[in-house]
Amino acid sequence: MNPFRLPLRVLAMAAVAAALSGCITLLPKTDPVGLYRFGNSPVAAAKGPPGKLFGVLKTPTVFTRASSSDRLLTITDGEAAYIAGARWVSPASVLFDEAVARAFEADPGRARLIGRGEVAKADLVLRLEVRSFEAVYVNGPKAPPEVLVQVRGVINRNSDRALVGDQIFEARATASSNRVGAIVQAYDAANAKVLSEITTWVDGAGPGI
């Protein structure tokens, strides 16, 4: 038999195998990505001094670029990296603003955030700048990390733009283990603590209007 002439059946099988190998190349196997969220934990805030309600206009939050996306940022010995196979369901900056809105909605104090398009008087203007939003491996890459959330808050009086307050808020929460689920819980806890302090602070700024 001529070695360069193969039965049609063999040629057909070879063609099928080549087609299948092509499919495997075009559609590589990928690991699923876990989606997570933060901002659901209740935010405790003191009621603050008595008095009438006042409106607060919150400007768009300024978020550090490295942690503003849907990636979970970690820091190990000064080296930044993202957790593989894990994402926030929305960019962290979006989830943070949603958590701020929920915190003020549940706040028993006098401050009320004024939403976009809402016809209401703004007595104060609140600006939030998220400076740190990251999981820090303070005890090495195998130990549970400590989540750090640091936010600068600035309050101005709307009538004349006079400065009412300027303060740094910081919270830390250590994950119960070095697993993504536990790290997300630590993010949630640290974020809730910071928002609790911020809402209490804004409530207390009311008498200075």
128 forms beta bridges with 153
The answer, yes or no, to whether residue 3 has pLDDT greater than 80, is: no
Cα–Cα distance measured from residue 26 to residue 29, given in angstroms and rounded to the nearest whole number:
10
Tokens, residue 135: 């999981």
Cα–Cα distance measured from residue 111 to residue 53, given in angstroms and rounded to the nearest whole number:
6
pLDDT tens for each residue of 114-124: 877 676 788 99
pLDDT at 121: 84
pLDDT at 45: 63
Give residue limits of the domains in the chain: 32-208
Q: Per-residue pLDDT averaged across 5-22, rounded? A: 40
Contact 83, 67 (CB under 8 A): no
Pairing of strands 79-88, 71-76: antiparallel
CATH superfamily of 32-208: ABC-type transport auxiliary lipoprotein component (3.40.50.10610)
Contact 84, 176 (CB under 8 A): no
Contact 62, 93 (CB under 8 A): no
